[in-house]
Structure 1
Amino acid sequence: MDKIHLKGCRFYGYHGAFVEEQTLGQIFVIDCTLLVDLEKAAQSDDLVDTVHYGLVFETIKKQVEQHKYKLIERLAGAICQDIFQEFPAVQAITIKISKQNPPINGHYDAVGIELERQRP
Structure 2
Amino acid sequence: MTDRIELTGLRARGRHGVYDFERAHGQDFVVDAVLELDLAPAARSDQVTDTIHYGELAERLAAVVTGEPVNLIETLADRLLTVCLADPRVRTATVTVRKPEAPVPCTFTDVAVTMTRPAR
After TM superposition, the structure 1 = structure 2 runs for residues 28-67 of structure 1, keeping only pairs within 5 Å, are 28-67=29-68
Query: Matches of 1:91 and 1:17 in 2, distance apart?
Result: 32
Query: Matches of 2:50 and 2:100 in 1, distance apart?
Result: 36
Q: Calculate the TM-score normalised by the size of structure 2.
A: 0.95
Q: Can you list the C-alpha shifts for 1:55-86, whole angstroms capped at 9, x where unaligned?
A: 1101101110011000111111111112222x
**Other-structure match for 1:100:** 100
Matched-pair identity in %:
34
After TM superposition, the structure 1 = structure 2 runs for residues 1-120 of structure 1, keeping only pairs within 5 Å, are 1=1, 2-85=3-86, 87-120=87-120
Specify the SS of the correspondent of 1:61.
helix
Provide the aligned length of Structure 1 versus Structure 2.
119
Query: Matches of 2:7 and 2:14 in 1, distance apart?
Result: 18
RMSD of equivalent CA atoms: 0.9
Q: Can you list the C-alpha shifts for 1:60-118, whole angstroms capped at 9, x where unaligned?
A: 01110011000111111111112222x22111111101111111111111101000011
Specify the SS of the correspondent of 1:12.
strand
Q: Return the offset for 1:18.
A: 1.3
Query: Matches of 2:92 and 2:68 in 1, distance apart?
Result: 23
Query: Matches of 1:96 and 1:51 in 2, distance apart?
Result: 19
4+ aligned runs moved over 6 Å, structure 1? none
Query: Which amino acid counterpart does residue 114 of structure 1 have in structure 2?
Result: T
Query: Matches of 1:12 and 1:73 in 2, distance apart?
Result: 17
Q: Calculate the TM-score normalised by the size of structure 1.
A: 0.95
Unaligned runs of 5+ in 1: none
Query: Which amino acid counterpart does residue 92 of structure 2 have in structure 1?
Result: A
